[in-house]
């Protein structure tokens, strides 16, 4: 399957968690809108200032304002809000009727990202494509823009103009520390003789890991994650979501 599929008939939905997550895949979004594809973007969380920034960036990406959706979940508490968010997510994806849905990878980098991945999985029965944000939450310096396991990934090489565009997009989120985080990571990786090249490529892979009670990481990282407080919190969130499932089934909101 070609993940970076240029077919202009395909309708794409990008389910981001926080405004600025779309930086990871912004050049592909812009290629799609330039080719005439219908593109939609949603964010699980947004403050008023971050929503304004996301709307400005969407304009620059060529995505109309009426194709944007903000769910308003509390930052850092999306996992505990899955049962409240599932119905609106299912309705949104049903209304968009996308051919492709993209979201952040389920890789234990941030519980909010993992929760959005779960919401997408429970709301869409078609092809789900994952974008690497960062992993894993065991370390203060997480690996950015690379999958924990690159198997199955497809890589889009960016032109010099697209690299400049991506750098400009990073500066469009002054209410966050994303610019300093990415710059610091580039410096750190260069000092380790492993240049990150964050603006040189964009990456996608087909979602194949759908066991949300098992970390989607290679060993020994998976085993270490399972010993962490963050993972225990995730399992509690899964318990809450699954207890709410019978009610959703009765309401007919499960796809």
CB of 131 closer than 8 Å to CB of 25? yes
Distance CA 209, CA 60 (A): 33
Q: Domain segments of the chain: what residues?
A: 12-158+201-251
pLDDT (0 to 100) of residue 244: 84
Can you identify the CATH homologous superfamily of domain 12-158+201-251?
HUPs (3.40.50.620)
pLDDT (0 to 100) of residue 109: 98
pLDDT (0 to 100) of residue 241: 94
pLDDT (0 to 100) of residue 245: 75
Strand locations in the chain (E): 12-16, 39-45, 68-73, 100-104, 127-131, 134-135, 143-144, 154-157, 201-206
* Per-residue CA distances from 172 to 45, 52, 66, 99 (Å): 17, 10, 20, 29
pLDDT (0 to 100) of residue 81: 96
pLDDT (0 to 100) of residue 214: 98
Distance CA 191, CA 171 (A): 24
- What's the pTM value of the predicted model, to 2 decimals? 0.94
Spell out the per-residue pLDDT of the chain, length 255, in tens: 999 999 999 999 999 999 999 999 999 999 999 999 999 999 999 999 999 999 999 999 999 999 999 999 999 999 999 999 999 999 999 999 999 999 999 999 999 999 999 999 999 999 999 999 999 999 989 999 999 999 999 999 999 999 999 999 999 999 999 999 999 999 999 999 899 999 999 999 999 999 999 999 999 999 999 999 999 999 999 999 999 876 554 455 444
Give the chain's radius of gyration (CA, Å). Answer: 17
pLDDT (0 to 100) of residue 29: 98
């Amino acid at each position: 399957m070609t993940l970076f599929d240029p077919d202009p008939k395909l309708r794409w939905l990008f389910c981001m968690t926080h405004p600025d997550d779309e930086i990871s895949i912004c050049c592909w979004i812009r290629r799609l809108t330039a080719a005439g594809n219908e593109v939609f973007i949603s964010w699980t969380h947004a403050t008023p200032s971050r929503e304004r920034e996301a709307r400005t960036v969407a304009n620059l990406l060529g995505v109309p304002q009426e194709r944007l959706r903000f769910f308003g979940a509390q930052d850092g508490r999306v996992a505990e809000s899955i049962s409240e968010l599932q119905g609106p997510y299912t309705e949104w994806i049903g209304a968009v009727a996308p051919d492709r849905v993209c979201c952040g990878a389920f890789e234990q980098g941030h519980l909010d990202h993992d929760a959005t991945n779960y919401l997408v999985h429970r709301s869409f029965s078609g092809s789900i494509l994952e974008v690497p944000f960062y992993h894993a939450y065991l370390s203060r310096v997480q690996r950015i823009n690379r999958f924990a396991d690159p198997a199955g990934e497809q890589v889009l090489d960016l032109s010099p103009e697209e690299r400049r565009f991506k750098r400009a997009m990073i500066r469009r989120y002054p209410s966050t520390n994303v610019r300093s985080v990415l710059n610091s990571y580039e410096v750190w990786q260069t000092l380790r003789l492993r240049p990150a090249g964050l603006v040189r490529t964009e990456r996608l892979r087909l979602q194949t890991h759908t066991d949300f009670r098992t970390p989607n990481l290679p060993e020994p990282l998976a085993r270490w994650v399972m010993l962490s407080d963050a993972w225990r919190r995730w399992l509690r969130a899964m318990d809450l979501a699954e207890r709410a499932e019978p009610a959703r089934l009765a309401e007919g909101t499960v796809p």
